[in-house]
Each structure stands twice: as structure tokens, then as C-alpha cells.
């Protein structure tokens, strides 16, 4: 999971559970997401998974 | 013998196939096989710890009958209607109707969690549990949200739902695909009153707009009616005008025949006039070419000839004049000379005569009677002829005495001459008497021309 890139579909901010869509197993799934750093990621931002917290939580950072 | 073996082998194959068919289980795409029992302790990639059962997704696996059990966990979506009575953050009681769509997560962790919680449970049980769960979470969410936020700020609502559900969903191995709030009712009429000012404003605006439009429509209608009336009036006027034009055209058309005839005749006349003009012009040209030009030529010829003749005559006259002049001059010279000569002669003669007269005068003075007699004798023939002249007028003279008569007449006549002679002698005497008184001088007249 780590290193996958995805798209924010629910606003991610410190203390707030956001949501990202990630490509997994040939499909896309929604994962709960937290920011890896203290930044706010608005809907539509490209993000990269830096940490995976099974089963459905990821920590993401801005992709570029 | 061979056949027996073959048959046994075939039967064995069939038996093996049947056994395989009994042992082999295949997982459908929308389900997971949960295998527990002998040897089903395999660990997954994601979970390093031993699961205690085996999860098979999307493929087949052999299940040992009697030693292992296999259950199918459906992974497909389920929808649960939500009907919740809750209170908003402002303390307003609300009835919320919604629906949630959820499924078991596709990863092994979710499948294991869900398998441990929902396997062998009926759909009703699962849905009841989920409903309670969601209802509780929804109450929590609505309790921390105002009605206005719920109505207007869906992002906040979904964020709250996600934050509230995340942990529980992970525990249950479920994924919420969708959560929809379909209806929000309130008994106190808060929502209705919430929108009332806006509704009233909208209604007022609508009524104002309607009234405005009504007014505009009426104005337009009236204007249209006025325009219509104007158009009708215009049309009537135009129709009358057109009728008049038609009548005019008809009357014109009725007069068109004679008019056209007259026009045609006029054209004919014009053409004839033109023709006549052309004819006249032609005749003029012909005359010019046949008469005028030759006449001009002739006149020119005559004029030229006359001029030539005149010139010739002038030249001749000049020559003549010159000749005459010369001749005259010559003659004058000759005459002059002649005259001079004659004058000299005359002078000489006159001198001679004067001398003669002087001499006679002297003689007369000395012997008057002799001179007179001389004079008479000299003039006697003339006297006789003058006396005879009196007979010249007589046409037919009758002499009565014959030859005697003639002699008498002549004697008488000559006597008359004799009496004249006596008269002349008397005259001379008187003259001589006078001459004695005045002492007359008889001198020769000098020749003036000499």
C-alpha cells in the first residue's frame, strides 16, 4: 500500500478523518486517511500513501 | 482383461473426479470462502499472525470434507434504511430518514473482522445491528450539528459522519459506500419557519414580478390594440388609396386605346417630319452639289476672267493713256510751236492790217468820200446779195411786167441799195463831224497774244 497514489475525496486535516480513493487489487477503494504532516488536503488533491494502518486507514502526504 | 483394467481405471478417474468435485470449492467474485478446521491456519500476506482460518477470495480451493468446514461470506453491497429521531445541537427534535449502503471490505483484514462478527448471521440480524449502529452514530452527528449546517453544509455532515463511523466500521470490517440523508422533518416547524422569511420575500418578489408583468402585459396589450387599430386604419386608408389607384388605372386603361393610337400617329407624324427633313436636307445637299458648287465655280471663273480682262484693259488703257499723253505732249509742243508761229504771223498780219487801216484812215481823213466810195464799192457785192436775200423768202414771185418787171424790181432794189449808200454817206459824214470834235485816233491794235 505504501507508495500508492490516490485522490482525496473527503477533506483531510489534522484531527479530522478524511477519505482517499486508492487503486488496490485492480479496483479502487475508499480508505480513511489522516495527514502525515500537519497540513490540510482539500478534496481533489493528489496524495501518496506514506503509512498504512490496516485494515482501512492510511496516512498520506501531498503527492507533489 | 485389458478392458477390465481400462474400465476400472475409468471408474477410478470418474470416482476421483467426483471426489475432486466434492472437495473443490470455488469462491464467486462477490463472496469470500472462510475455511476453518484441519490445517486451515495459513497466514495471509497482510496479517502475519495466524488467522486461525483461511480466507479464499476469487479462486478455488480444496476442502477436506469432515476435517474442514467452509462458509461463504457475501461481499456484495447491502442497503439499510435509517429512520432516526434525534435532536440537533440547538435542541430541536428532528425526524431523519436516510439510507446507508455498505459492504464488507475486500481486504483480508476486513473480511476476517466481518467473518468473526457476521458469519452465520441472517440478513435481518445484520441489518438490525447496522441500523442500530448507524442510528446511534447519526444521533451523535446530528447532536453536534445545527439544522442550518445539515441543510446547507453537506461537507460538514459527511465529515462528521466519517469521523464518527471510522472506528466502528474498521472494527466491523465494513466499508460505507454511501450514506444519504433523505428527509429531515421537525415537529416544531423550525425548518419551515427557517425558510419563511425567504419564502415570504420570494413570494413578495413573485407577486411584485407578477404585478409588474401583468402591468407590462396590459400596457403591451393596450399598445398592441392601439397599433392594431392604427394598422386597421392604415389598412383602410391604403385600401381606399389602392381602390382609387385601381379606378384610376381602369380609367387610364379605358383611355389607353385612343391615347396609344394618338401617340402612334404622333410618332408617325414625327417620323414623316423627320423623313421630310431628311428629304429636304438631301435636296439641299443635291442642289448644293449640282447648282451651287458649279455656279460658284462658274462665278469664280467669270470673276477671275473679268478680273483678268479688267487688268488687261487697265494695262491697255494705261498704255493708251501713256501713248495719248505722249502724243498730246508732242501735239501740244507742236501746237505751241505752230501757235507761236501763227501768232507771229497773225501779229505780223495784224501789224500789216493796222498799217493798212492807218494808211486808210489817213486816206479817209484826207479824202473821206473816196474812201467811203471805195468802201461801198468793196462792199457792194455783199449789199446786193443782202438785197437779193429779201427775195429768198419769196416762194413764187409773179412778175407782172415780164422782163420789164424784173428790171424794175432789180433797179428798185439796187436803188434801195443806192439809198442805203446815201444813208451810209450821211452816217460817215456825221461820224466825220464827231471826229472833228473828239479828234479820234485810229492806231493799230497791238497783238496781245504776241
With bands split at pLDDT 50, 70 and 90, how would you rate the model's confidence at B271? very high
A12 in helix, strand or coil? strand
Out of A10, A25, A55, the one facing B162 most closely (by C-beta) is A10
Question: Which has more pLDDT, B373 or A63?
Answer: A63
Please write the tens of the pLDDT for every residue from B286-312.
888 888 888 888 889 988 999 999 899
Whether B137 and B102 have beta carbons less than 8 Å apart is answered as: no
169-188 in chain B: CB under 8 A from chain A? 169-170, 173, 175, 177
What is the structure's pLDDT at B450? Answer: 39
**With an 8 Å Cβ cutoff, is A18 touching chain B?**
yes
Question: Distance, in angstroms, between B163 CA and closest chain A CA?
Answer: 5
- Does residue A61 surpass a pLDDT of 80? yes
CA B165 – CA A52 distance, rounded (Å): 19
Question: Which has more pLDDT, A54 or B202?
Answer: B202
**With an 8 Å Cβ cutoff, is A24 touching chain B?**
yes
**With an 8 Å Cβ cutoff, is B153 touching chain A?**
no
Closest CA to B79 of B184, B186, B185, B182: B182
Question: Distance, in angstroms, between A63 CA and closest chain B CA?
Answer: 22
Whether B109 and B46 have beta carbons less than 8 Å apart is answered as: yes
- When pLDDT is averaged across residues B134-158 and rounded to a whole number, the result is 85
Strands B174-186 and B93-104: antiparallel
What is the structure's pLDDT at B449? Answer: 47
CA A13 – CA A35 distance, rounded (Å): 6
Out of A11, A16, A30, the one facing B175 most closely (by C-beta) is A30
CA A17 – CA A34 distance, rounded (Å): 6
**With an 8 Å Cβ cutoff, is B46 touching chain A?**
yes
Please write the tens of the pLDDT for every residue from B336-364.
888 888 888 888 888 888 888 887 777 76
pTM for this model (two decimals): 0.47
Question: Distance, in angstroms, between B188 CA and closest chain A CA?
Answer: 33
Q: Residues with Cβ < 8 Å from B197, sequence gap 6 or more?
A: none
Residue B190 CB neighbour total at 10 angstroms: 16
Write out chain A residues lying below 8 Å of B177, CB-based.
Answer: 30
Question: Distance, in angstroms, between B159 CA and closest chain A CA?
Answer: 7
Sign of CA dihedral B366, B368, B369, B375: positive
Sign of CA dihedral B205, B207, B211, B214: positive
Please write the tens of the pLDDT for every residue from B73-127.
888 898 888 888 888 888 888 888 888 898 888 888 888 888 888 888 888 888 8
What is the structure's pLDDT at B419? Answer: 66
Closest CA to B166 of B123, B137, B131: B137
Out of B46, B155, B159, the one facing A54 most closely (by C-beta) is B46
Write out chain A residues lying below 8 Å of B169, CB-based.
Answer: 56
CA B9 – CA B13 distance, rounded (Å): 6
Whether B35 and B9 have beta carbons less than 8 Å apart is answered as: no
Whether A13 and A35 have beta carbons less than 8 Å apart is answered as: yes
Out of B47, B155, B175, the one facing A56 most closely (by C-beta) is B175
**With an 8 Å Cβ cutoff, is A27 touching chain B?**
yes
Whether B78 and B30 have beta carbons less than 8 Å apart is answered as: no
What is the structure's pLDDT at B437? Answer: 60
Look at the block and give the residue holding cell 504771223.
B345
- The whole-chain average pLDDT of chain B stands at 82
Out of B109, B155, B177, the one facing A55 most closely (by C-beta) is B109
Question: Distance, in angstroms, between B178 CA and closest chain A CA?
Answer: 11
- Does residue B128 surpass a pLDDT of 80? yes
With bands split at pLDDT 50, 70 and 90, how would you rate the model's confidence at B204? very high
User: CA nearest A12 in B: which residue?
Assistant: B159
- When pLDDT is averaged across residues B53-63 and rounded to a whole number, the result is 86
Cross-chain residue pair B162–A18, CB shorter than 8 Å: yes
What is the structure's pLDDT at B68? Answer: 87
What is the structure's pLDDT at B442? Answer: 47
Cross-chain residue pair B105–A11, CB shorter than 8 Å: no
Question: Which has more pLDDT, B383 or A44?
Answer: A44
Backbone φ and ψ of B41, nearest 5°: -120, 15
Please write the tens of the pLDDT for every residue from B317-336.
888 888 888 888 888 888 88
With bands split at pLDDT 50, 70 and 90, how would you rate the model's confidence at A2? confident
Q: Residues with Cβ < 8 Å from B147, sequence gap 6 or more?
A: B88, B90, B92, B94, B184, B186, B190, B191, B194
CA A43 – CA A19 distance, rounded (Å): 9
**With an 8 Å Cβ cutoff, is A26 touching chain B?**
no
Mean pLDDT lowest among A14-18, B147-151, B444-448: B444-448
Give the ipTM: 0.75
- Does residue B250 surpass a pLDDT of 60? yes
Q: Residues with Cβ < 8 Å from A49, sequence gap 6 or more?
A: A1, A2, A3, A4, A5, A6, A20, A22, A58, A59, A60
Cross-chain residue pair A54–B47, CB shorter than 8 Å: yes
Which candidate in B43, B144, B163 is best for mutational testing of the A interface (most A CBs within 10 A)?
Answer: B163
Write out chain B residues lying below 8 Å of A54, CB-based.
Answer: 46-47, 107, 109
- The whole-chain average pLDDT of chain A stands at 87
What is the structure's pLDDT at B420? Answer: 62
**With an 8 Å Cβ cutoff, is A36 touching chain B?**
no
Amino acid at each position: 500500500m505504501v507508495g500508492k497514489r490516490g485522490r482525496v475525496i473527503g477533506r483531510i486535516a489534522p484531527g479530522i478523518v478524511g477519505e482517499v480513493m486508492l487503486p488496490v487489487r485492480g479496483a479502487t477503494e475508499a480508505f480513511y486517511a489522516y495527514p502525515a504532516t500537519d497540513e490540510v488536503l482539500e478534496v481533489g488533491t493528489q496524495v501518496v500513501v506514506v503509512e498504512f494502518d490496516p485494515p482501512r486507514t492510511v496516512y498520506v502526504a501531498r503527492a507533489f | 482383461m485389458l478392458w477390465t483394467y481400462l474400465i476400472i481405471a475409468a471408474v477410478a478417474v470418474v470416482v476421483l473426479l467426483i471426489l475432486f468435485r466434492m472437495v473443490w470449492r470455488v469462491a464467486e467474485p462477490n463472496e469470500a470462502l472462510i475455511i476453518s478446521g484441519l490445517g486451515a491456519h495459513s497466514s495471509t500476506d497482510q496479517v502475519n499472525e495466524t488467522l486461525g482460518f483461511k480466507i479464499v477470495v476469487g479462486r478455488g480451493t480444496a476442502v477436506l470434507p469432515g476435517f474442514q468446514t467452509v462458509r461463504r461470506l457475501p461481499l456484495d453491497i447491502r442497503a439499510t434504511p435509517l429512520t432516526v429521531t434525534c435532536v440537533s445541537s440547538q435542541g430541536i427534535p428532528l425526524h431523519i430518514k436516510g439510507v446507508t449502503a455498505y459492504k464488507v471490505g475486500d481486504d483480508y483484514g476486513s473480511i476476517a473482522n466481518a467473518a468473526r462478527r457476521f458469519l452465520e448471521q441472517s440478513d435481518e440480524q445484520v441489518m438490525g445491528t447496522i441500523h442500530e449502529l448507524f442510528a446511534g452514530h447519526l444521533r451523535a452527528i446530528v447532536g453536534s450539528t445545527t439544522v442550518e449546517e445539515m441543510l446547507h453544509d453537506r461537507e460538514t455532515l459527511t465529515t462528521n459522519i466519517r469521523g464518527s463511523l471510522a472506528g466502528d466500521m474498521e472494527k466491523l470490517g465494513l466499508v460505507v459506500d454511501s450514506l444519504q440523508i433523505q428527509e429531515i422533518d421537525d415537529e416544531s416547524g423550525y425548518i419551515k419557519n427557517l425558510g419563511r422569511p425567504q419564502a415570504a420575500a420570494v413570494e413578495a418578489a413573485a407577486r411584485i414580478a407578477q404585478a409588474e408583468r401583468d402591468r407590462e402585459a396590459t400596457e403591451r396589450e393596450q399598445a398592441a390594440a392601439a397599433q392594431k387599430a392604427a394598422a386597421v386604419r392604415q389598412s383602410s386608408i391604403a385600401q381606399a388609396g389602392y381602390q382609387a389607384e385601381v379606378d384610376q388605372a381602369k380609367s387610364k386603361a379605358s383611355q389607353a386605346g385612343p391615347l396609344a393610337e394618338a401617340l402612334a400617329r404622333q410618332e408617325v407624324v414625327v417620323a414623316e417630319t423627320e423623313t421630310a427633313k431628311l428629304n429636304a436636307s438631301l435636296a439641299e445637299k443635291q442642289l448644293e452639289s449640282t447648282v451651287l458648287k458649279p455656279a460658284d465655280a462658274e462665278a469664280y471663273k467669270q470673276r477671275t476672267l473679268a478680273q483678268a480682262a479688267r487688268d488687261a484693259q487697265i494695262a491697255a488703257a494705261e498704255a493708251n493713256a501713256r501713248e495719248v499723253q505722249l502724243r498730246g505732249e508732242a501735239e501740244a509742243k507742236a501746237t505751241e510751236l505752230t501757235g507761236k508761229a501763227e501768232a507771229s504771223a497773225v501779229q505780223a498780219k495784224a501789224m500789216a492790217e493796222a498799217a493798212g487801216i492807218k494808211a486808210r484812215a489817213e486816206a479817209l481823213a484826207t479824202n473821206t468820200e473816196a474812201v467811203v466810195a471805195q468802201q461801198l464799192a468793196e462792199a457792194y457785192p455783199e449789199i446786193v446779195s443782202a438785197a437779193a436775200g429779201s427775195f429768198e423768202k419769196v416762194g413764187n414771185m409773179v412778175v407782172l411786167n415780164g422782163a420789164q418787171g424784173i428790171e424794175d424790181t432789180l433797179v428798185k432794189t439796187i436803188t434801195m441799195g443806192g439809198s442805203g449808200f446815201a444813208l451810209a454817206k450821211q452816217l460817215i459824214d456825221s461820224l466825220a463831224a464827231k471826229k472833228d470834235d473828239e479828234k479820234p485816233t485810229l492806231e493799230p491794235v497791238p497783238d496781245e497774244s504776241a
